[in-house]
Amino acid sequence: MKTISCMNIDESLLHSFGAEDKDYKKREAVFREEDHALYYFQISEGKVKLNNYNENGKEFIHNILGKKQSFGEAMLFLNQNYPINAICLEDSRIIRLPKNNFFEMIKQNPDLSLEMNACFSQEIFYKLKMVQSLASENPMQRLKGLLEYLKSYHDEDCQKCFHIEFTRQQIANLTGMRVETVIRTLKKMEKEGSIILKDRKILY
């Protein structure tokens, strides 16, 4: 299945509409919960996580994005503040385009609009699948849902060779599980043959 990395707009096009590069340090926030959505953000270099904290302070990660991926763009179309935080996992360079310029850009480039619809659709589709698996009591079911979701961001369809580049703690925070449960479940899945563990790396 062809994957659409949501959303990757040509950097020179972004710049021609007034986008600027901004450098962030590890752990720095690009935006926080309740902030107004003022920009379109696209990662040029680095990694960003989208997260929340529950009432006990336990973190839930919605997604982790890398190079050439955008985030939070849905909020530009709504009169809503961000429901999540965007935090850099490493030193990053992020391109940001002010909201008004962003709309001017897609007005002048209808193809982008179409492409963005495809991205949103893909997002919604896999979010639904995520919710389904997260609703399961079974830890293995949850993990499989996440792995499918992560793989949907990947281009080639290769069996047992997609490297999950997340720590076990991050996986735990993406699935609402504890890290020990993640470790135990991964081992079970390896025994069952659905994944391969090669020096601590996860291949799916």
Partner DNA sequence: CCATTAATTTCAT
Partner DNA sequence: ATGAAATTAATGG
Q: Is 117 among the residues that bind DNA (CB under 7 A)?
A: no
Rule CB under 7 A: say whether 169 interacts with DNA.
yes
* Interaction of residue 28 with DNA, rule CB under 7 A: no
Our finding on whether 196 is near DNA (CB under 7 A) is no
Q: Which of 13, 74, 76, 179 binds DNA (CB under 7 A)?
A: 179
CA distance 164 to 108: 38
Verify binding: residue 183, DNA, rule CB under 7 A.
yes
Nearer to DNA, 107 or 187 (CB): 187
**Token couple for 3:** 């994957």
Q: Nearest approach, Cβ of 155 to DNA (angstroms)?
A: 24
91 lies in the site for DNA, by CB under 7 A: no
Residue of 157, 180, 191, 198 interacting with DNA (CB under 7 A): 180
168 binds DNA (CB under 7 A): yes
Q: How far is the CB of 20 from DNA (least distance, A)?
A: 27
C-alpha distances (whole Å) from 202 to each of 147, 165, 168, 186, 192 are 10, 8, 10, 8, 14
| Residue in 14, 64, 97, 139 binding DNA, rule: CB under 7 A | 139
Q: How many C-beta neighbours within 10 Å does residue 11 have?
A: 14
Alpha-carbon Rg of the chain, whole angstroms? Answer: 18
Interface ranges with DNA (CB under 7 A): 139, 167-169, 177-181, 183-184, 186, 197, 199-200
